[in-house]
Amino acid sequence: MKRVTIFGREGCGYCRRAKELCEIKEFEFSYIDIHQENISKADLEKTIGKPVMTVPQIFIGQQHIGGFTEFSHYVDKEAL
């Protein structure tokens, strides 16, 4: 699988779960804290191309997957 990029924030349970899923599945991933990196929701919207209401926002390579739920379903589907 291509590198996973997780845009999240401290204290976000779904962000933590996304990181844990990557660790369990031994995916290469990078975690970007949007507050530490001064990335706004508007910045993410420009990158994704649609409104962003929540984090995490997860990419595999250059493909936007969505949040934790979409990422979990994607991982389950790919494991088949």
Going by pLDDT thresholds of 50, 70 and 90, the confidence category of residue 12 is: very high
Hey, how many other C-beta atoms are within 10 angstroms of the C-beta on 29? Answer: 19
22-72 pLDDT, tens digit each:
999 999 999 999 999 999 999 999 999 999 999 999 999 999 999 999 999
From residue 49, give the alpha-carbon distance in Å to each of 6, 23, 34, 45. 16, 28, 17, 5
Topology, domain 4-79: Glutaredoxin (3.40.30)
Outline where DSSP puts E strands in the chain. Answer: 4-8, 29-33, 57-60, 63-66
Instruction: Quote the pTM value.
Output: 0.93
Q: What is the pLDDT of residue 1?
A: 75
Domain positions in the chain: 4-79
